[in-house]
Structure 1
Amino acid sequence: MREIVETLVLTILMFVIINLAVQNYDVDGPSMEPSLHNKERIMVDKVSYHLHDPARGDVIVFIAPPDPELNYVKRIIGVPGDVITIQGTVVKVNNTVLQESYVSPSYQGNPYLPIVNKVVPKDSFFVMGDDRKNSSDSRLWGFVPRTNIVGRAALVYWPLNDGNSGFLPDVSGVFAHVPVKAANINNVSSSSPLKDSTFGMDEVIFFAMPGLFLVCSRYRKKR
């Protein structure tokens, strides 16, 4: 009876932790092609941004500033203090031209007016869709407040095809030569250096916690 109760408690605990840590979303629309396809299902990591700042290159889900009833999925291009310039299809961050491997030539374009030396404010982010011709993003409606961010898109789990299933690719190399901060803005968080997009040990440890807890419990019983 005790083992049954412990198993039920552990199951409930794992369910609660997993639901607090991750959330499932359906991609609606082509704005992140070819990285994410319409109707794909993605798993969003809601915990890692409590451990470190959002980074350039991260694909995030957030409450849409133009319509708080909707959630958008886009890629972070600029973080607080960055200076953004976009002229045609050329994107510059802190006067560094990005060679964006995640933007396919067939989806390249810019239907919006040029942006010149726009500074990303404190606690805000500049985001763009990978489908530059068909994305409603920061080029149109401005910055995403940090409080709007739900979490980071960690992996595609359905359907398992199209060559992009599993964890989203690491694109940190695109931003490797971008200076950390170009503009001086008041009270920019500097508790730790901004780091580029990876699925780091913080997230691995968190997602492993329920399993480790269960293994330790079983080991204690055997002893």
Structure 2
Amino acid sequence: MKDKEFFKKFREYAFYIILAIGLALVCRSYVFARTDVIGSSMQPTFNDKDVIFMEKISTETGHINRGEVVVFNSHDENEDNYIKRVIGIAGDKIEIKSGEVYLNGKVLTESYLPEEVVTEANSAVAEYVVPEGYIFVLGDNRKNSTDSRIIGPVNLKDVKGHVILRVYPFKNINYFK
């Protein structure tokens, strides 16, 4: 009798454990993911070794907004993931001149940057039109960032997620829209 009860309880617990693992995998694949910031291209917003969480639903639906910070596959030789800020979406015209970023003809207000930051065009091209299905991204550390000024617009299919939370270092825990 005890063996029957034991196996019944065992099957019940096994079911719940498998269900929990399945839900965790679904959440990891389609809802939330943890990643680490590598490098200084997003300073002062993010620093090297910051631990962040990103939501993936907006990338699955293709709904990315200007000003959001996203993680995407760079397709460089190491298949590194880059973290950058979305400056322009499909149809936007981006110009970089006189150290300023212009979005659709107007100077972009970038309150997340220190006042002394100057944005230079990193190539001969200083004017970009964002094609359909792409976004234009810049690192907050404009002097040390491999971003759309160099690699061009980022395909929405390469975006892994939108950063929503920094959890480490603990003194800098912060929520991002």
Question: What's the TM-score bracket when you normalise by the shorter of the two chains?
Answer: 0.7 to 0.9
Deviation at 1:12, TM superposition (A): 2.1
Letter aligned with residue 135 of structure 1: S
Equivalence for 1:93: 103
TM-score (norm 2): 0.83
Q: Structure 1 unaligned runs (5+)?
A: 171-223
Distance in structure 2 (CA, Å) of the matches to 1:140 and 1:30: 17
Matched, 1:145 2:130: no
Map 1:30-179; keep pairs closer than 5 Å.
Answer: 30-67=40-77, 69-105=79-115, 107-110=117-120, 112-113=122-123, 115-162=125-172, 165-168=173-176, 170=177
Give the conservation status (yes or no) of the 8 Å contact 1:87–1:115. no
Give the conservation status (yes or no) of the 8 Å contact 1:30–1:38. yes
The count of residues paired between Structure 1 and Structure 2 equals 167
Question: Which has the larger share of strand?
Answer: 2
Q: CA RMSD in A?
A: 2.1
Given the superposition, is the C-alpha separation of residues 67 and 125 from structure 1 closer, same or farther in structure 2, using an over 3 Å criterion?
Answer: farther
Equivalence for 1:18: 27
TM-score (norm 1): 0.67
> For 2:170, what is the secondary structure of its paired residue?
coil
Q: Structure 2 unaligned runs (5+)?
A: 1-8
Distance in structure 2 (CA, Å) of the matches to 1:35 and 1:11: 34
Equivalence for 2:17: 8
Distance in structure 1 (CA, Å) of the matches to 2:104 and 2:151: 21
